Structure 1
Amino acid sequence: MTREQYILATQQNSLPRTEHPQFYPVGIYGWRKRCLYFFVLLLLVTMIVNLAMTIWILKVMNFTVDGMGNLRVTKKGIRLEGISEFLLPLYVKEIHSRKDSPLVLQSDRNVTVNARNHMGQLTGQLTVGADAVEAQCKRFEVRASDGGKVLFSADEDEIVIGADRLKVTGTEGAVFGHSVETPHIRAEPSQDLKLESPTRSLVMEAPRGVQVSAAAGDLKATCRKELHLQSTEGEIFLNADTIRLGNLPVGSFSSSSSSSFSSSSSSPSSSAPRQTIYELCACPNGKLYLSPAGAGSTCQSSSNICLWS
């Protein structure tokens, strides 16, 4: 391009234009503007509804600075007033009631309390159901109110009752399927003590002796067949003002026959004088019988009572 052409071109551009300038509108118009206003109005309505719902929930649930409804958040934990219902498991460290009201745990089926270790394994369980109360643990204990004395404890090996007195008030008494070991058995004052085995035998054993005492009454031992008193190494000692042996067989003594005895359970015949004094005799096998007393001993080891016993 030559210099003249450049000058001519620049002069043409610097000349003022006589035409009017064109203006282009800036903004949202038409359906876009209407959609924007609609969404803004919808957002405003949604905010108002949410605010109203939030205020209604706060009012119904009774939200306060201290907590919600019957639930109060304190420095020591959470406090519930009134009746509370839990639909899912509850994990807490301690549950206790107010000082002036009891603590009630209620369920339509059962109430189960579980104890677990740090690994989540079940170590103890207490279930209160409609039919039974079950406790599953290694050792079950019932202590006194002061928490010191153990009143009842049970484990796999034994059951211990630590109360001063065990009282059974049932009409059938106490039934034990196996042996019972105790240092003392006694009845209540003015009451009878009865040890009974309806279909089997009753055995009382003690390595150092068995003592049966009736300080203010009678002591009776009754059996259907035989009553044995046996001492393997010692003696049987009967100490009383009067010792009576009833229903002993009586042998009649005849002077014409030196060894003629006949067993008789009745008194001598009415023709002979009435015998009032008898001699207590013993057979070699230990059987006792009565023989009419005479000037000398009338006991004969060859008596029919000893022979047929």
Structure 2
Amino acid sequence: MGQLKIIPHGVQLTGQTLIMDLLRASSIRSKHGQPITIGKLNVPEQEFWKPYLPEKGKFVKSSRNFSINTRDKKGKLQNHLYLGHDKFECLTSGGFRITNSTGKKLFSVNQNEVFIGVPTLRIEGDGGVLFHESIQTSHVRADPGKDLK
């Protein structure tokens, strides 16, 4: 375990620390300019550690919500991720991207565009699709046996 120090509003851990059971905290912060790494252990692969390693899919849990903020070198908020019981929010200064397991971009969004990189885009709903500006496509088709409206 790293060094443990009692400070006015909690405890301070420095260095690499292995928590042997549960860690309950209302907030975890890193030193200014330093990252927080969760889940990377630099310990010898020995049977001794196996009971203390997290179960797959059960590493970070929260009973109400889970938020992550990242800041730039000046302390300005760059990204905010919020997972609540009924919503998922993402605030980012640079853009949001979803990739598949091989790294191919499937979806991305930034201030200027929304990119969807899948072979078929399906939009379902009674209201259809409404475009306020022009739309450009290389191919338009109707469902088999249906007219193009």
TM more than 0.5: yes
TM superposition shift of 1:131:
4.0
Match of residue 19 from structure 2: 80
The letter of the residue matching 2:81 is L
Q: Structure 1 residues 113 and 88, CA, compared in 2 at 3 Å: closer, same or farther? A: closer
For the pair 1:156 / 2:111, whether they are aligned, the reply is: yes
Match of residue 91 from structure 2: 136
Count, aligned residues: 118
2:146 to 172, 192, 198: 192
TM-score normalised by length of structure 2:
0.61
Is the contact made by 2:96 and 2:110 (CA closer than 8 Å) also made in structure 1?
Answer: yes
Match of residue 111 from structure 1: 66
* Structure in which a larger fraction of residues adopt strand: 2
Structure-2 separation of matches of 1:124 and 1:105 = 21
Match of residue 28 from structure 2: 89
Higher relative contact order (CA 8 A, sep 6+): 2
TM-score normalised by length of structure 1:
0.33
Structure-2 separation of matches of 1:83 and 1:182 = 53
User: Cα deviations across residues 186-218 of structure 1 (Å, max 9, x unaligned)?
Assistant: 345x463654xxxxxxxxxxxxxxxxxxxxxxx
Q: Structure 1 residues 116 and 191, CA, compared in 2 at 3 Å: closer, same or farther? A: farther
Structure-2 separation of matches of 1:99 and 1:191 = 53
Structure-1 separation of matches of 2:18 and 2:145 = 53
* Structure in which a larger fraction of residues adopt helix: 1
Q: Structure 1 residues 152 and 193, CA, compared in 2 at 3 Å: closer, same or farther? A: farther
The letter of the residue matching 2:121 is L
Instruction: Write out the 4+ residue segments of structure 1 that deviate beyond 4 Å after TM superposition.
Output: 97-100
> Percent identity over the alignment?
26
Structure-2 separation of matches of 1:160 and 1:193 = 28
Structure-1 separation of matches of 2:102 and 2:21 = 30
Match of residue 8 from structure 2: none
